[in-house]
Structure 1
Amino acid sequence: MKLAAFSGVLIDHSIQEAMHLTKKIGFDGIEIAAREPHLSATTSAARIKEMRAVADGIGLEIPVIAGYMGGFSTGSDKDSEQAFSDFQRILEASGTLGADFIRVNAGGPNAFLAQNYHYEKAAFWLRKCAVEAAKLNKSIVLEIHNVSLAESVESGLRLVELVGESNIGLIHDAGNMYITDTDYGRDSVIGLGKRMFHVHVKDEKRVAETGAPGTFANLTKHGNEKFLQCRLGEGGADHQPLFDALKETGYNGWITLECHAPFPAVERLEHDLSKVKQMLGLA
């Protein structure tokens, strides 16, 4: 297993600074957030080549581009065409950057509110993305995420199976799965099987009210709930069963740390990296 930092945690820095900080902290790679000032569909080819040169120069891998394009399930035809066009530009960038995976957003609503047509519409466009990605030997990944069609192992696999392409998989995210109150331990890893292409790590906990830094509200199957973003081990999402299952099943992919707790960015990344190494028995 290799450990990456999510560049979105360092979004207040340039991508070049984010790469150097990521390497200094001790990560193997960086998952690049596809939003400015790091990367977007309008980023020039010259700047993308510069990113790759910086990463190569310091020995930092780029396993994933975390795209925000998509929303296919509820988007208009025009919006979906634009999202697909943006995806094609990010896909092209992935070739230069050496990233094997591109994250795409299927859209909402929450899986427990979604109708069959939401899945069918999202699958139509995701299939187009997967077919294009296959031409470059790339894969697309859907993050198991609250307020989306893929809120659980079951709903995520339903969508992936509808797409029907071999190069589409899921990102396991225990923090998000804690929010949606679905299993994120050993059974989830076994359930995803070979469709688990990538892993995200962050911690959250339920709180009584919002307003404090790091708090947010979210619609779940329990209603409008409130949460606090936490450093790993300080929230309600117990990641140890996940890490144990990753070792048990021989997972040899990437784990990206994306803590958004209300602490300085470098401090929270250092904390979570140390905690992950401890929980994986690497410390």
Structure 2
Amino acid sequence: MRAGPGRDFAAGMTTLAALDAVAACMVRAQRLLFITGAGISADSGLPTYRGIGGLYHDRLTADGLCIEEALSGATMAARPELAWKHLAEIEARCRGAQPNAAHRLIAALEQEKPMVCVLTQNVDGLHRAAGSRNLIELHGTLHRLRCTACHHGRTVADYAGLQIPPECPLCGALMRPDVVLFGESLPLRSLARLEAVLGEGVDIVLAVGTSSVFPYISAPVLRALQCGIPTVEINPGETALSAVVTHRLRLRAAEALPELWRRMHPPEPAEG
């Protein structure tokens, strides 16, 4: 019988037993959907934003704004220098960061399974750097800039030496990162890709390092639960999904993924 919501911890299942159960589900699964948030990049030295130890956890920015206001489309339009200040702060903290074991092992699974898709809220580019190709960067990436007036765009390695806020070299208008700011619509193309993945069916959904506060992030997990598909949360903190997922691992992503990988790839027995 399939484990019920929150069963792993409600029934006192140990972390080791929960790891065994999740690994068994992943071995059977042919189509895996990973939904990742800032927590997966924490072991690469990047801050989360709302979670444990987050950059803006339970406090305002230095300008006295909540992060949702400072990094909003409205602020980018009315006070671009302020929005860019906080975007540049995030980029500076990302600069030089490398994919960690969680990023690398998710990318490695893509080479083994018929379908592994990563839906990420992160704008740090670490999934792509780790080798993930079936990747939906729902919130965009800091490394692509686009003009707010014309069709000019460019890719940058980082913001070092960049005039903040930058001007378009073609028309002189404001350029901005190609990311989704608070209050802005999600890209329809990315949403269509996600719907196609879900429409073709998945065998397991894993929410990794995300607070799951946005309905479009929690919705694929809840949809899977309704269909009797195993769901997993990997997060040391409490989220809106913690009480309802099939399996809950209160671990950091870079702790959990290597343990799951080892269980999925047991050593070959020595020949007698």
- So what's the TM-score if we normalise by structure 2? 0.29
**Structure with greater helix share of residues:** 1
Larger C-alpha radius of gyration, 1 or 2? 2
Larger fraction in strand = 1
The two structures have a TM-score, normalised by structure 1, of 0.28
